[in-house]
Structures are given as C-alpha cells and as structure tokens.
Amino acid sequence: MFDRAARIRTGTLPALPPAGAETDPRVHVELAHLRKLEGRARTLSFLPRQPAGSALNGRHASRMRGRGLNFEELRDYLPSDDIRSIDWKVTARTGRPHVRVFTEERDRPTLIVVDQRMSMFFGSVLNMKSVTAAECAALAAFRILDQGDRIGGIVFGDETLAEIRPQRSRAALDRLLLAITRANALLRADAPKVAPVGLNDVLQAVGRIAPRNHLILVFSDFDVIDGLTQKLVNALSRQNDLILGLVTDPIADDVPEGLKLVISDGELQAEIDTGNTTVHRDLREMSRGRLAEVLDWQRRYGVPVLPLSAAEDSLTQMKRLMGLGPR
C-alpha cells in the first residue's frame, strides 16, 4: 500500500537541522519546543467525561466511549448486582440467575495521525498549518499518556510515512515527536514536486493498525477528499473513538479580493489574481466546500470535529473547544 512512502520510516527520515540552527517556530517546529508543551498539556482531558461545553461531549450525537471492557467471569446473581448484567441464556439453561462480570481495560491504545504534507505548509497570520497540527498532536500525546493510555501514531508527508505502534511508554511518545519534527523539517518552499501520499491510503493504514476500541485523532487540513474518504471515516468511527482536528487558515474562510499571488509546485508557477471576480468566487467556493464537507461528517457520522485555526495559539483553542476555557 505504501510502496513509495514506506521507503522512509521513523528510523531513516532525514536528520534534524543541526543544534543551534535558527528556525522560526511559526514555520518549523523543533523537538525541544514540542517537549516543552508537556506541562501545558495537563489542562486537557480526553477521558469520556467531558465538560458540558466540550465538542467531544455528545455534540451532534457524538460521544467518547472510553476504554473497552474485558470479560472477567460468569457467576451466580447476587442481590447487589445490576439486573442489566444478567445473562438470560445461561439463567434459562441452569434455572438459576447468572450475571456476566466485566472489568474496564487498564489502558486503551491511541493513534495520533499528523498531516505534514505541502498543503499544510501555509499560514497567513500566526503559524503554518503544519505547525498547528504538530503542536496540537504533541499536546494530545502528552495528556493521553499521562492518563495511562497507550500512545502511537502515523506521521505522513508528501513522500514520507512513519508508523509508531501504540505503547504505554515515554519512548513511544518520543518516537512520535521525533517523527513529527523530522517530517516538518522537510517542508520548504522550494521542495521538489512529488505525488503526495493520499489521505485515503493513510486512513486505510489506520484501519489496519486500529481495527477497534482505539482512540484515533487526525490532525489535517483534509486536502483532497472524496467519497472513499467519507466511507473510511464512517468505518473508523463505528469501531473506535474518532476525533478529527480540522486545521485551517483564515484566508481559506474568506479569500481576500485584490490579491495577486504567485504559486509554484517547485517546477511550474502561476499567478492568481483574486481581483478577478470569477477566480475569487471559484477559490472561495472550493475552500468553503471542503471545510463544510468535513464539518458535516459531525452530523452524518457522529464524529467530533475540532476546527483548529493556524491563526490562534494551539493550546488556547484546544482548551476552548474542549469546554475548558472562555468561548
């Protein structure tokens, strides 16, 4: 499935920039910066019980199921037992009431999917979308591991993909942060043109790694989606807790008029004049149509969507969306 992308995995991604090299934190993330987010992440929560204003708390029929249950034993019914736990088939067969006893899983595997393709390398106000996705993914990873759950992820760029299998260990979290930083470092304006890894391929890989009872968070701008994307999102949400972090930039919500933009794919370049009424309308409709489609998955499939903006501090908006800050 990933014949091209699989050539580059976590252990073989290009080296990070040398220590001390100057980077703009709004354009590229450093490993040290992501690690510093650990303390701030403690204000978040990804447990089933959410504040009343949280986007994860039953909005549009979505709800966090939380950890799964393990079957523990089948035993005689006791007066203190909940009658809903009675196994009626065994009761009818034996002539005595029996109950099934379950215990909550000690931990739950979590998969954090982070988009670092060239479509994410854009920002008009504060951060590049790729930076916002990286920071939000790191905040979530720290908090989830602190809750006692297993952490892993998939980090993908235009021609790179790193898989980190979920583990309840700091080493797994460090591998995830390192994969994010390395993939982010590859983003640059003069990057050569390549056929990017498709989001559908990534979601199919998620389904292979997380068939059921996982918490899955996807941080992406959801560039290039189609009917198959919808089917994959729906399938993942049926067997898992799926949360979509939709990363956008304000210019996508309201394309300014009168701008002359020169865009390039690394080989060819073209000028876009938003002063042209037809061009401006087409750009606005294309951008808003994709955003509206992803947001509609919340209603159609009960999948929580966190609308994240590259124009705002990552933690501030995550806290607000999860009902933990001013709205």
Token couple for 78: 């006791």
Token couple for 159: 């021609």
With beta carbons less than 8 A apart as the criterion, state whether 249 and 309 touch: yes
Distance CA 76, CA 91 (A): 9
Q: Which residues are CB-neighbours of 71 under 8 A, at least 6 positions away?
A: 100, 101, 102
pLDDT of 280 above 50 = no
> Given pLDDT bands bounded at 50, 70 and 90, which one contains residue 247?
very high
What is the per-residue pLDDT across 14-45, written as a single tens digit (0 to 9) for each?
555 555 556 788 999 999 999 999 999 988 88
Percent of the chain with pLDDT over 90: 44
What is the per-residue pLDDT across 204-226, written as a single tens digit (0 to 9) for each?
999 999 998 899 999 999 988 99
Beta bridge partners of 220: 246
With beta carbons less than 8 A apart as the criterion, state whether 125 and 166 touch: no
Nearest one of 319, 287, 315, 314 to 131, comparing CA atoms: 314
Distance CA 25, CA 53 (A): 31
Rounded to an integer, the average pLDDT of 258-268 is 48
Q: What is the pLDDT of residue 48?
A: 65
What is the per-residue pLDDT across 75-99, written as a single tens digit (0 to 9) for each?
888 887 778 888 889 889 999 998 8
Rounded to an integer, the average pLDDT of 154-161 is 93
Q: Which residues are CB-neighbours of 299 under 8 A, at least 6 positions away?
A: 60, 61
Q: What is the pLDDT of residue 264?
A: 45
With beta carbons less than 8 A apart as the criterion, state whether 68 and 80 touch: no
Distance CA 240, CA 145 (A): 18
Rounded to an integer, the average pLDDT of 290-311 is 88
Distance CA 319, CA 43 (A): 8
pTM above 0.85, yes or no: no
pLDDT of 59 above 50 = no
Q: Which residues of 183-193 are buried (b: 16+ CB within 10 A; e: fewer)?
A: bbbbbeeeeee
3-state DSSP call for residue 246?
A: strand
Q: What is the pLDDT of residue 132?
A: 97
Mean pLDDT of the chain: 80
3-state DSSP call for residue 255?
A: coil
Q: What is the pLDDT of residue 72?
A: 60
Highest-scoring range by mean pLDDT, 96-110, 233-247, 312-326: 233-247
Distance CA 116, CA 97 (A): 56
Distance CA 205, CA 220 (A): 16
Nearest one of 315, 311, 316, 313 to 327, comparing CA atoms: 316
Higher pLDDT, 201 or 4: 201
pLDDT of 287 above 90 = no
Distance CA 125, CA 233 (A): 30
Q: Tokens 């061009």 identify what position? A: 279
Token couple for 304: 């929580």
